[in-house]
């Protein structure tokens, strides 16, 4: 197997332009996410961004961080993902949003141990983790097989079409007993930047887990086979 982490980011967010390179607790966001992604233990980590000039600086930063860089379609994320699969030779890929400074490598690494048993390992089927702590490992072959089925609106998202067709996949749902889904730990607005800065404080943002930051016990994980079709997360 050749599992690869795909970090999706772009520079022209409507609500917070330039957030991918914006410092958070002293570390540019893309560098923070990349440092966390490196702890998953996958074969490699790749920045998946657009081929527009507005993302030239972001692509250069990714290369300087030692990331592979794939540049593709601005709005068709299914096509961009297929391009990333082709360019990296990934047999499986983990979708990581570049605006998720509390992305949890521990959860992603635990899910990676089950890739031989499933086409999709996800914690979004029954959401029990915070917004901004997504785990989605996908088989590259299964993703390619279902790519043509994505509706036009679904192609603006990496995985939305998969959740409409779970009955066609071998699926494991990554869950925990405690419900942390009320927590929002993604960076999408100036207010969230201020809130996350306060939450991190003087701690190392590349190492800090969301449960430690929020004063919670570490999650106890379970892998539950998904046998019925579910809706879009």
In a domain, 15, yes or no: yes
pLDDT, tens digit, 9 for 90 and up, residues 205-228: 999 999 999 999 999 999 999 865
| DSSP line for 27-47 | EEHHHHHHHHHGGG--SEEEE
Cβ neighbour number for residue 121 with a 10 Å cutoff: 28
In a domain, 78, yes or no: yes
In a domain, 196, yes or no: yes
SS3 label, residue 66: coil
pLDDT tier at 229 (50, 70, 90 boundaries)?
very low
230 vs 35, residue with greater confidence:
35
Read off the pLDDT of each residue in 158-175 and give the average, rounded to a whole number.
95
Residue-range definition of the domain harbouring residue 164: 3-226
Q: At what angle do helices 77-88 and 140-147 cross, to 10 degrees?
A: 140
Q: At what angle do helices 29-37 and 56-64 cross, to 10 degrees?
A: 40
Looking at residue 126, its pLDDT comes to: 92
230 pLDDT above the threshold of 60: no
Domain at 80, CATH number? 3.90.550.10
Read off the pLDDT of each residue in 38-60 and give the average, rounded to a whole number.
97
pLDDT tier at 59 (50, 70, 90 boundaries)?
very high
pLDDT, tens digit, 9 for 90 and up, residues 184-206: 999 999 999 999 999 999 999 99
Q: pTM higher than 0.85 for the full model?
A: yes
In a domain, 70, yes or no: yes
Number of domains in the chain: 1
pLDDT tier at 233 (50, 70, 90 boundaries)?
low
In a domain, 231, yes or no: no
pLDDT, tens digit, 9 for 90 and up, residues 114-152: 999 999 999 999 999 999 999 999 999 999 999 999 999
In a domain, 232, yes or no: no
In a domain, 121, yes or no: yes
In a domain, 233, yes or no: no
């Amino acid at each position: 197997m050749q599992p690869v982490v795909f970090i999706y980011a772009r520079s022209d967010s409507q609500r917070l332009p330039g957030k991918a390179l914006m410092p958070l607790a002293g570390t540019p966001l893309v560098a923070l996410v990349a440092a966390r992604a490196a702890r998953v233990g996958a074969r490699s980590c790749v920045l998946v961004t657009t081929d527009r000039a507005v993302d030239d600086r972001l692509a250069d930063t990714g290369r300087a961080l030692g990331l592979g860089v794939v540049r593709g379609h601005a709005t068709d994320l299914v096509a961009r993902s297929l391009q990333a699969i082709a360019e990296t030779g990934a047999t499986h890929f983990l979708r990581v949003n570049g605006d998720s400074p509390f992305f949890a490598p521990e959860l992603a690494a635990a899910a990676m141990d089950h890739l031989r048993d499933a086409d999709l390992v996800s914690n979004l089927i029954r959401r029990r983790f915070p917004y901004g702590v997504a785990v989605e490992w996908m088989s590259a072959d299964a993703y390619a097989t279902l790519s043509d089925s994505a509706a036009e609106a679904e192609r603006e998202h990496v995985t939305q079409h998969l959740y409409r067709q779970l009955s066609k996949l071998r699926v494991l749902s990554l869950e925990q007993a405690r419900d942390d889904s009320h927590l929002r730990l993604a960076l999408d607005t100036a207010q969230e930047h201020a809130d996350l800065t306060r939450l991190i404080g003087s701690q190392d943002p590349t190492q800090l887990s969301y449960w430690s930051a929020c004063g919670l016990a570490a999650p106890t994980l379970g892998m539950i086979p998904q046998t019925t079709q579910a809706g879009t997360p």
